[in-house]
A and B are shown apart, each in its own frame.
Chain A
C-alpha cells in the first residue's frame, strides 16, 4: 500500500503535510536542545568565579565555523529557490556548496578543535611556592622580552595576570578591577593551574626482584618454572630458594611479570632502577597513573611542560620540568577536566550529530535514487528540499546560540 502524498497545502492546516510534520519535529528538537541550554545556564550561573574555563576556546576558529554554517544555511535555501524555478543544475550547484560547508564544519570540529583540547593539559601544583617558581622559570624569558622600542618588559606576575585574566577571570561582576582582584587571590593562594603541552616525561625503568618460592601456593613446580622462564628469569635458581633480579623492564613488562610471578607463588618486589627521559606526547594522562607508586618512588618522576603563551619571540615555547610530587592534579581538556568541558562536548557533540545526519540526507537527495522523485513529481521533490531546508536552518539556529554561550560568555 502506498501512502498518498499530497503536494498542495491542506485547507484546514494551511500547510502541506510534510511541512507540518517537520515543524512538529523541530518543536521537539527545541525541547531537546532547550533542556541542554537550560542545564548549561544553570551550571554557568552556579559556577564559582575562576572555575569556568571560558577563555580556553579559540574564538577565531569558532567564529570561522559560524560563518561556514551561515553560508551553508544560505546555500540550502538558494538551492530550493532554483528548484522552484525548475532549474535542477542550479539546485545541484548550491547543494554541493552546502554539503562542502557542512563537511568543512565537521572537519574543523573533529580534526582540529576537539583533538587540540585533548592535547592541552592543566597542571595544578600543591604548593604556592612551587607554583610561583614554575611561572618564574616558564615565563621569565617571555616576560622580559624587549619590546620594539626599548629593552624593557613586564614582570612575570604581570605577564601571567594578563594571560589568566582573559582565561579564567574574564567574568567580573564588581567593576573593572574585578578580574585583577580575583587573579591576585588565586596567585597568592597558589591555586592557578599551569597550562600547556606536555612534551615529554621521565619514566621509571624497573627492576623486578623475585624472592622465595612458596611451595604451598597451590602451584606445581613445573608451572612455577614455566612462569619464571616466561618472565625471563633463571628457573633453577628461583626454585632452589635463591633470589634474583629481572633487570630494567619497562612499566608494562614489570607489571605483567609481577602479576604472573605472584600467581605462580613467588614473592615479588618492584624497585626503580633509573629514570629514562621519554620525548613523547602522552594522550589522556591522568594524575593517578602519573603518581603511581613503585617501591616508594613515582612511576613518572617529572613532566616536561611547554607553557601556553610563553613564546620566546622566535616561535619557541619554553619548557619547564615539574616534579610529579608537586602535582596535585593534572588533566587534559577532556570531559573530566571541568563541568564546562563536560557540557561542551555534550552539546557540540549532539549538534555535530545533527550536521552529520543532515549531510547524509543531502547526499541522498543528490543521488539518482533521490533525484528520481524530481523526474516523477517536481513539486513533491521541491517540497522535500524545502522541508530539509527547514531542518538545516534549525541546525544553524542552534549554532547561532551555541557560539556566544560556549565561546564568549
Chain B
C-alpha cells in the first residue's frame, strides 16, 4: 500500500469497507444457496449463475481484502496474474474443445430457450455486480472537515 494511504482516516474508511465486503460475501453465499434450493435449473444455467456469483465474490476479496485496488499496479503482480489466468483459460479451453468434439451420445441437447436464458443471466449478473463494485469502490475516502484536500496533497508519513 502506498504512503498516501497510510493515514488514520483512510484506515477507518478501509475498516468500514472490510465489514461491507464481509456482508457482500455472506449475501453472495446465501443467494447461491437460495437459488439452488428454490429453482430446479438445468445444469448449464446453474453453473453460470453459481460461478458468476463466485467470480464476483472473488473480485471483492482480491480488490478489497487483498487491497489490490490500492497497490501500485506494476507489471509484477498484474502480469503474473494475467499469465496465470491465461494458463488456466487455456487449460479450460482445451477441455471444452475436447468435450465439444465428442458426440453427445445419450445426452439431450440444451434447448435454445435455456441456452439464451443462461447467456443472458451469465452476462447480466456479473455486469450488475461489477457496476455495484465500481460504485462501492469509487466512494471517496472520508476526509476531515477543516482541511478536506490537504491530506492527499501533502504525503503524510505514518504516524
A: residues with CB less than 8 A from B are: 9, 13-15, 20, 23-24, 27, 30-31, 34-35, 37-38, 41-42, 45-46, 48-49, 59, 63, 66-67, 70-71, 73-74, 77-78, 81, 84-85, 170-176, 178-179, 379, 389-390, 393-394, 396-397, 400-401, 403-405, 408-409
Residues of A with C-beta under 8 A to B110 = 173-174
Residue of chain B at shortest CB distance from A19: B71
B115 nearest CB across to chain A (Å): 10
What separation, in Å, do the CA atoms of A394 and B84 have in the docked complex? 14
Instruction: Give Cα A279 to B114, complex, Å.
Output: 50
The reply to whether the CB of B120 lies closer than 8 angstroms to some CB of chain A is no
- A84–B109 Cα distance when bound, in Å, is 56
Give the CA-CA distance A35 to B84 in the complex, in Å. Answer: 11
Interface 0/1 of B76-91, CB less than 8 Å to A: 1100110111011001
Contacts of A379 in B (CB 8 A): 158
Q: Which residue of B lies closest to A84 (CB)?
A: B11
A175 touches B15 (CB 8 A): no
Of the candidate stretches B19-27, B135-143, B148-156, the one touching chain A is B19-27
Other than the given A173-B110, A404-B50, 5 more pairs (CB < 8 A) read A27-B81, A48-B106, A74-B65, A173-B107, A179-B40
Interface of A, helix, strand, loop or mixed by DSSP? helix
**B58 / chain A contacts, CB cutoff of 8 Å:** 397, 400-401
Docked CA distance A46–B33 (Å): 25
- When C-beta atoms are compared, the residue in chain A nearest to B57 turns out to be A400
Inter-subunit contact B61/A73 (CB<8 Å): yes
- Provide the residues of chain B in CB contact with A9, threshold 8 Å: 2, 72
B47 within 8 A of A: yes
Nearest B residue to A23 via CB reads B77
> Within 8 Å of chain A (Cβ to Cβ): is B123?
no
- Please name the residue on chain A nearest to B25 by beta carbon: A70
Q: Are A81 and B14 in contact (CB under 8 A)?
A: yes
How many chain B residues sit at the interface, stated as a range, is 35 or more
Contact of A174 among B50, B61, B74, B111 (CB under 8 A): B111
A14 CB contacts on chain B under 8 angstroms: 71-72, 74, 76
Minimum distance in angstroms from A132 CB to a CB of chain B: 24
Q: Report 14 cross-chain contacts, Cβ distance below 8 Å, ordered by A residue.
A: A15-B76, A24-B80, A27-B80, A30-B81, A30-B85, A42-B99, A67-B29, A173-B107, A175-B42, A390-B66, A394-B66, A396-B65, A397-B62, A408-B46
A173 to B93, CA, bound (A): 22
**Smallest Cβ distance from A186 to chain B, in angstroms?**
13
CA–CA, A170 and B47, complex, Å: 12
The distance in angstroms between the C-alpha atoms of A397 and B61, with both chains bound, is 7
Shortest B144–chain A CB gap in Å is 17
Measured between beta carbons, the chain B residues less than 8 angstroms from A409 are 43, 46-47, 50
**Nearest B-chain residue to A33, judged by Cβ:** B88
Is the CB of B54 closer than 8 A to any CB of chain A?
Answer: yes
